[in-house]
Amino acid sequence: MKPAPDIDQTGIIKRSFDVDNIREDFPILRQMVNEKPLIYLDNAATSQKPQSVIDAMTRYYTEENSNIHRGVHFLSDKATQSYEAGRIKIQKHINAAHAHEIIFVRGTTEAINLVAQSYGRFNFKEGDEVIISAMEHHSNIVPWQILRDEKGIVLRIIPINDKGELFIYKYEKMFNSRTKMAAVVHVSNVLGTINPVKRMVDIAHQFGVPVLIDGAQAIQHLKVDVQELDCDFYAFSGHKMYGPTGVGVLFGKETLLEAMPPYQSGGDMIKSVSFEKTIYNDLPHKFEAGTPNIVGGVGMGATIDYISQIDFDAVLKHEHDILEYATQKLLGIRGLRLIGTAKEKSSVISFVIENIHPHDIGTILDDDGIAIRTGHHCAQPLMKCFEVPATARASFAMYNTKEEVDALIKGIYRVIEVFS
Ligand code: C6P
């Protein structure tokens, strides 16, 4: 039975949070794996999708499929409206000032590449500095290294302590007249650390430096308000927030986006083309060359609809309880070391077990139908900081339960037994 809806201060009817009820929305969770019920704890890699998002995308292909912004016919108009409605929903969700500050991209990776290749290439010169941190995903390292190799910019790395927290006082000292950008992760995909990004933006702005936030692991677990954060760019992926793969968002402040040159070029990003001269289209189209992932945009709209109808404070509390519960249970296992013990954490636990390779942990847990991720998690420099080649990582979503954590713990004891 569905729990009774609540009405929040904005008058929007909210469905109260009930984990069993939420699980019913995700058809994939009913699956058996190796004759055991699937326990999906790899949500930082990608989350599962609710039926309503799947249905919205099927409905789009069944009833609306057409190209957008081009046709005068009925279907093209319908498809354009659905795609653009997705943009407006995202704008409201992250409280951007304008819908045209929402650029649809393939995901966080493309969003950061866009900023590096457009803003960075246009504005940086030899000797300019970009600040990133020791806990960045490769997606927020390599695009800046490409610019370093091409233009001679310098990368400055914010160090971390042994809990996996940034040294903010060291970050503050890194700014000088050559600093041109700070690009930092909001929530680490390995450590789960929630970085104090608001404070970091304030510091950067004191030096007139814009900030890009990699929100790939934050958007689904925290309330993100880009105006409150005052960040200049915010990047995230649809597929980690219960939405489709192949679509994500770059939020950018209007003034910065207006001044930036296009990242890719072709159809839809132009107003007019002659062999002599091309006039670029207005925002956001200037950054969306070619036929975009239309069904992805529609799916993102359905994703926001889905998230918005659930009491998000209750989701946050549930996720926090699961994280605390799992942390306490894991700490009780002899020979197991947590990688990432920051005070402020969200939904990700990495660990290593003495003398057992993380891949073996993952493989044995899979026999029990438990999906975790093992490896370097696309954060090899961070692995080096903790002097480990890889970790095992359990990452949680709103549909995970304490019973699933118990199964994980039982599975880990079985792993230890196999190797003892
Ligand atoms: N992290 C993980 O298992 P894409 O692939 O573009 O959607 O997201 C890239 C990315 C960028 N930043 C952070 C902090 C991330 O966690 C990710 C994706 C996945 O941890 C896949 S490696």
CATH number at residue 26: 3.90.1150.10
User: Taking 70 as the threshold, does the pLDDT of residue 26 lie above it?
Assistant: yes
134 lines ligand 1 (CB under 6 A): no
Q: Is the pLDDT of residue 225 over 80?
A: yes
Closest residue CA from atom 1 of ligand 1: 45
Same domain, 31 and 72: no
Query: Domain total for the chain?
Result: 2
Which has the closest alpha carbon to 343: 332, 355, 327, 366? 327
136 within some domain: yes
Q: Could you tell me the pLDDT band of residue 359, with boundaries at 50, 70 and 90?
A: very high
Task: State pLDDT tens for residues 298-331.
Answer: 999 999 999 999 999 999 999 999 999 999 999 9
Q: Is 139 in the pocket of ligand 1 (CB under 6 A)?
A: yes
Tell me: the pLDDT tens digits for 94-122?
A: 999 999 999 999 999 999 999 999 999 99
Q: Which atom of ligand 1 is closest in space to residue 108's alpha carbon? A: 6
Q: Quick one: pLDDT band at residue 70, thresholds 50, 70, 90?
A: confident
Over residues 250-294, the pLDDT tens digits come to: 999 999 999 999 999 999 999 999 999 999 999 999 999 999 999
Ligand 1 centroid – CA 280 distance (Å): 31
Percentage of residues in the chain having pLDDT higher than 90: 95
Is the shortest distance between the CB of 146 and ligand 1 below 6 Å?
A: no
* CB 393 less than 6 A from any atom of ligand 1: no
**Domain check: are 145 and 199 in the same one?**
yes
**Which residues are marked as active site?**
378
Return the residue whose CA atom lies nearest to atom 17 of ligand 1.
Answer: 216
User: Does residue 283 come out as left (phi exceeding 0), alpha (psi in the -120 to 50 range) or beta?
Assistant: beta
The answer on 13 and 64 residing in a single domain is no
Residue to mutate, 41, 139, 241, 339, ligand 1, most ligand atoms under 8 Å from C-beta: 139
For atom 16 of ligand 1, the residue with the nearest CA is 189
Q: Which of 291, 308, 325 is the last residue of a domain?
A: 308
Which residues neighbour 308 within 8 Å (Cβ) at sequence distance 6 or greater?
12, 89, 93
Interval 332-361 mean pLDDT: 98
Measured torsion, CA atoms of residues 317, 323, 329, 334, in degrees rounded to the nearest 10:
-160
Whether 30 and 103 share a structural domain: no
Residue 151 lies in a domain: yes
- Give the pLDDT of residue 2: 47
Burial 171-199 (b: 16+ CB within 10 A, else e): beebbeeebbbbbbbbbbbbbbbbbbbee
Is 50:220 a contact under the CB 8 Å cutoff? no
| Closest approach atom of ligand 1 to CA 107 | 6
Average pLDDT over residues 115-132: 98
In DSSP terms, 270 is beta-bridged to 280
Average pLDDT rounded to a whole number, residues 215-235: 98
What is the average pLDDT value for the chain, to the nearest integer?
Answer: 96
With respect to residue 376, please indicate whether it lies within any of the assigned structural domains: yes
Are residues 367 and 250 located together in one domain of the fold? no
Could you read off the pLDDT of 393-419 as tens digits, one per residue? 999 999 999 999 999 999 999 999 999
> Which one of 276, 308, 340 terminates a domain?
308
Which range of residues forms the domain containing residue 362?
6-48+311-419
Q: State residue 351's pLDDT score.
A: 98
